[in-house]
Structure 1
């Protein structure tokens, strides 16, 4: 589904050019659950910004399904982002003065869906993440784990081709982190493709494959052995 070939990324700062990603070659098949691991400054956030159609300033080739992403115009880029990918962030990024239902339904409003259709889909997604009764609450009344579930529901509402989760358990305690990872595994078993960024080994090992990145280069790409579980 996702294929990066010799992708390079430079940042300019004044007269300096920084080589942030170096000859990245990467493939992710539909239905995979992949973890990207690396220290702060390794280039992992830059990489997911390219994969998630946020950053179109790179050299190399990016093929998504049969679309040659590196040749798209900027407006085609944002259409792809809105339709094909759902984002989950470390700090949830919920709008505190909107109800849970309004937060989850927001991407559908942007997409021009009808109100009646939105309500039914919102209820369905909240049920899928184990929160059937919080639609009218404000996010600030929920625990961190519940807020992250709301953000997962929001990411899934447009039925994207894949999810990008950027340090999704970074703000959560270990028990809540495991609950969120259980949701990811359930979604993945139902066919959702997930790319998760983390710096936590134990979290990464819940995925099927770990890609390690250091100084802008992929240093290893290995399947996780779940046989001992």
Structure 2
């Protein structure tokens, strides 16, 4: 599904150049549940910006379903992102003065979907994340865990090919974190949604089927937690 070959990324600030990613080689299969773990400054956010079609300025090759993404224009990157990726963030990024249903339905509204479809699809995904009946609530009336569930519902409402979750449990207590991780596992198992979680928490990383470590912009370890024979081999 995703194949990165010899990806390098540098930033220029003034007269200084900073080499952030060094010869990244990474393949992610369709239906995989992958965690990318590293401390602050390790390069993990830069890496997921490239994987999630947010950053088209890099060296190396990126094949997505065998299409050469590294040759695409910025406009093509934007289209790919809108049609293929759902994002979940640490701080939820919900709009506080509109309802849960409106928050979840925004991506469909931007995509030009009809209101009847949006209403039905929002109801479906809220049920899937355990928030049936919360359509008319405001985010501020929900707990942190519930708000993250809303964020996940918004990410999956367009039926994306893969999810990128950036420190999705970082603002949650340990018990709520377990609930959110269980929800990700359920989405991965039931819908075969490819999930990429970025974390600095070993407890979160250990729950993924595969764990990749990044340090100083280099992939240092790739650990498969899934029993042999269970992995989906479709790329």
The 5 Å alignment of 1:176-191 reads 176-190=176-190, 191=192
Aligned twin of 2:9: 9
- For normalisation by structure 2, the TM-score amounts to 0.95
Aligned twin of 1:158: 158
Q: Does 1:82 align with 2:89?
A: no
CA displacement at 1:225 relative to structure 2: 5.6
| Counterpart Cα distance in 2 of 1:212 and 1:117 | 41
Once the two structures are superposed, what CA deviation does each residue of 1:63-121 show, in whole Å capped at 9, x if it has no partner? 01132111111111100000100000000000001100000000001111000000000
Aligned twin of 1:208: 209
**What is the DSSP-based 3-state SS (H/G/I as helix, E as strand, rest coil) of the residue aligned with 1:12?**
strand
C-alpha change, 1:174 and 1:119, in structure 2 (3 Å) is same
**What is the DSSP-based 3-state SS (H/G/I as helix, E as strand, rest coil) of the residue aligned with 1:41?**
coil
| Counterpart Cα distance in 1 of 2:127 and 2:22 | 42
| Counterpart Cα distance in 2 of 1:111 and 1:65 | 23
**What is the DSSP-based 3-state SS (H/G/I as helix, E as strand, rest coil) of the residue aligned with 1:55?**
coil
Q: List alignment gaps of at least 5 residues for structure 1.
A: none
Aligned twin of 1:197: 198
| Counterpart Cα distance in 1 of 2:16 and 2:60 | 21
**What is the DSSP-based 3-state SS (H/G/I as helix, E as strand, rest coil) of the residue aligned with 2:57?**
coil
| Counterpart Cα distance in 1 of 2:66 and 2:121 | 29
CA displacement at 1:226 relative to structure 2: 6.8
| Counterpart Cα distance in 2 of 1:139 and 1:147 | 6
Aligned twin of 2:73: 73
| Counterpart Cα distance in 2 of 1:107 and 1:177 | 25
- For normalisation by structure 1, the TM-score amounts to 0.98
Q: Does 1:174 align with 2:171?
A: no
RMSD of aligned Cα (Å) = 1.0
Once the two structures are superposed, what CA deviation does each residue of 1:146-172 show, in whole Å capped at 9, x if it has no partner? 000000000000000000000000000
The 5 Å alignment of 1:1-229 reads 1-190=1-190, 191-224=192-225
Aligned residues: 227
**What is the DSSP-based 3-state SS (H/G/I as helix, E as strand, rest coil) of the residue aligned with 2:119?**
helix
| Counterpart Cα distance in 1 of 2:167 and 2:227 | 22
Once the two structures are superposed, what CA deviation does each residue of 1:28-54 show, in whole Å capped at 9, x if it has no partner? 000000000001000000000000000
**What is the DSSP-based 3-state SS (H/G/I as helix, E as strand, rest coil) of the residue aligned with 1:203?**
helix
CA displacement at 1:56 relative to structure 2: 0.4
CA displacement at 1:194 relative to structure 2: 0.2
| Counterpart Cα distance in 1 of 2:124 and 2:144 | 21
